[in-house]
A and B are shown apart, each in its own frame.
Chain A
Amino acid sequence: MFLLAMLAFLPKLILGFSIAHLIWPDGRISSLLLKFFLGIPLGMGIASILFFFSKLWSLDRWSYIAVELTFVAAAFTAMLLARKDTFRRIEFDVDSSIIKQNKFLILLVILAAAISLMGFFSTTLLRPHGREDAWSNWNLVARFVYYSDDLTNALDYIAISSFPGYPFMLGLDVANGWTFVNTVTTRVPILAAGLFAFSIPGILFFGLFKTRGIQSASIAAILVLGPWLAQFAAGLYSDVPMAAFYLGAGVLISLYLQTGTPGLAALAGLIAGLPSWAKNDGIPFAIITAIIMFLVSFKRRDAAAIVRFVLGLALPLAVVAIYHEFLASPGNVVANGSEMLLRLQDPSRLRTVLEFFIRETSWFGSPASGYVLILLAILVVGGIDLGNENSRIIPFVFLSQYAVYFAVYLVTPLPLEWHLGSSLQRVLVHLIPLLTFTVFSLLRKHDFSLFQPVGNRHAPHD
């Protein structure tokens, strides 16, 4: 069944890679590998949109499978035809000399990945249905979608649930997987969660490899593969996919700032828009990244960049707009204007939110591991390099979204301590990989030659 589930998701991965390579036809091996990992959240996000419309139009199982496979084949063929030159001239920028020089660090990355995978799969053995949020929200919605001819049952349930008005990308992905394997099995949501989760170290590694070098990339990947990733991924939460989207957008914006390559702006827009299809929390992220890209385009006098970014954003945001305008019930987190003002003026609320944010951010991780404190210590001791545009702008993406989450809690109409206690850790999950990328983008370049065999110390790659 696990192999069948993997086959169900294979078309999504091909779709994601094909679209990424069509939009950003960079033929370096590091870029191709980055696109492979970016292709996971991208392909899953786009396939969920396809499945959403197929359910709206009440397509039966075989018709949908035919539509998805045709769509994937068309994207793959278009990519091969339009970008065939890039495959003829692949540039091996990850070569054997770099790997040899850093073999100890790379071995540690592989070991960290193995430990994290063991943690993930052992947790799914213990709790195959995930944590409460999985079976009370996303996988429950997935059952409504899978067992029904259309979305009526799923939308009716969401309207009376504890999360009215939420989009349900992850539920659609899971129902899509069940449609391919033709049965409801826990293997499908587990595999979907694993794919999203383990795309994160891949995106982080190759993103930092391209912007900061292999040593920063390896160290960041080892850190991000800490126990929190396995635990939250095995919880089958939709917060881990959010983290993959945020990180992907951050990496692509960073690469755009470094290279000015037009396709990167469009691809960044597409990935920055998809989290708003996974959870409402993604809507401010799309706005923040659009504002930042607008300011960058203005400063660089490169109007095409913001146009491309907005074109990328347009597909996911159009679907989100259709969903909210015609199908979704009103949400329960944002209150009306006057109530919000009253809450903003209440100092006790500010104190409570501040206390929770400081405590949960500092000791983030499960078991509480102080992940953010470790990152900050590395940054403080290692020193900050604000010498390039990249390191000056990327922190704003993280800080703005963090500030938005803080503000949402300040005005939430839900009982404050309950809301913070039940969701803040998961909300921080969205931002932890992006924060890791931000910290290593800000960090001054170092020679981590303590990791080298003595004979190789003269030639670090960083």
Chain B
Amino acid sequence: MSATRSLIFRILTILALLYSMGMGLFYFRSIMNVYSQGRVDYVVKWESLMADVKKEIPADEKVIGYVSEWDRLGFDKDVYIEFVLTQYAFAPQLVRRDLNHEWIIANSTDPGFLGWLTSQLTSSFTVQELGSGIYIIHRGDL
């Protein structure tokens, strides 16, 4: 290898190392910037919200129903994520997008949602509002 090429190689290697470590520091700084703004992770928030919901539903209920704007207006990434996070919070109880269960979690902040939901339920039920758009539906006949 010629002396010039060897020198270029050494310089390239040094630059690559500095670049890699610099990017590492840049990444750390950007994470700490976000952290210092006091932003709370949405998974942590959802876990905390679901902790209150879990208190209202019997722990021995194997499958829990779930209904949201996904069922009224169709798929949306946000409503999908809230559904999976609800399952994450409730495991090992299964959460199914289905109204044929004694206990159902309803999730929507839209004022028209509850009216739509009651029209879907044919038998008697009670609704408990927990805030943040979360309702617990209890169907006594199932």
> Footprint of B on A, CB under 8 Å?
108, 111-112, 115-116, 118-119, 122-123, 125-129, 132, 135-136, 139-140, 143-144, 147-148, 153, 156-157, 219, 222-223, 225-227, 230-231, 365, 367, 369, 374, 377-378, 381-383, 444, 446, 448, 450-451
Contact = CB atoms under 8 A, between A and B. Distances in A.
B17 A444 contact: no
B121 interface: no
Contacts of A367: 23, 26-27
Nearest to B27: A227
Contacts of B127: none
B85 interface: yes
Contact of A126 (B8, B11, B35): B35
B1 A444 contact: yes
A377 B31 contact: no
Interface string B1-33: 100011011111110110111011111100110
A226 B44 CA distance: 28
Closest 5 CB pairs of A and B: A227-B27, A143-B91, A115-B24, A129-B43, A147-B92
Contacts of B85: 135
Interface in B69-97: 81, 84-85, 87-88, 91-92, 94
A320 B71 CA distance: 37
Contacts of A139: 88
A115 B35 contact: no
B24 A156 contact: no
Interface in B86-113: 87-88, 91-92, 94
Contacts of B87: 140, 157
14 contacts: A115-B21, A119-B24, A122-B28, A123-B31, A126-B35, A136-B84, A143-B92, A144-B91, A153-B94, A230-B27, A377-B16, A446-B6, A446-B10, A448-B13
B21 A122 contact: no
Interface string B48-74: 000000000000000000000000000
A112 B21 contact: yes
A219 B44 contact: no
A156 B94 contact: yes
B16 A122 contact: no
A448 B10 contact: yes
Given A135-B88, A140-B91, A448-B10, A223 B23 contact: no
A365 B19 CA distance: 13
Nearest to A118: B28
Contacts of B6: 446
Contact of A230 (B1, B12, B17, B24): B24
Given A136-B84, A382-B13, 11 more contacts: A118-B28, A122-B28, A126-B39, A128-B44, A147-B91, A219-B17, A378-B12, A378-B16, A381-B9, A446-B10, A450-B14
Interface centre among B21, B26, B84, B87 (most CB of A within 10 A): B21
B48 to A, nearest CB: 12
B141 interface: no
A448 B9 CA distance: 9
Contacts of A108: 17, 21
Nearest to A451: B14
Contact of A223 (B8, B16, B32): B16
B20 A225 contact: yes
Interface of B: 1, 5-6, 8-14, 16-17, 19-21, 23-28, 31-32, 34-35, 39, 41, 43-44, 47, 81, 84-85, 87-88, 91-92, 94
B83 to A, nearest CB: 10
Contacts of A111: 21
Nearest to B7: A450
Contacts of A446: 6, 9-10
Given A144-B91, A223-B16, A115 B28 contact: yes
Contacts of A377: 12, 16
B41 A129 contact: yes
B106 to A, nearest CB: 21
A135 B25 contact: no
Nearest to A370: B19
A118 B25 CA distance: 9
A140 B43 CA distance: 12
Nearest to A105: B17
Contact of B25 (A115, A140, A231, A378): A115
B8 A381 contact: yes
Contacts of A227: 23-24, 26-28
A381 B25 CA distance: 27
B75 to A, nearest CB: 12
Contacts of B91: 140, 143-144, 147, 153, 157
A367 B28 CA distance: 11
A86 to B, nearest CB: 35
Contacts of A132: 81, 84
A116 B24 contact: yes
Contacts of A122: 28, 31-32, 35
Contacts of A382: 9, 13
Contacts of B25: 115
B5 A119 contact: no
Contact of B41 (A128, A147, A153, A451): A128
Contacts of B21: 108, 111-112, 115, 222
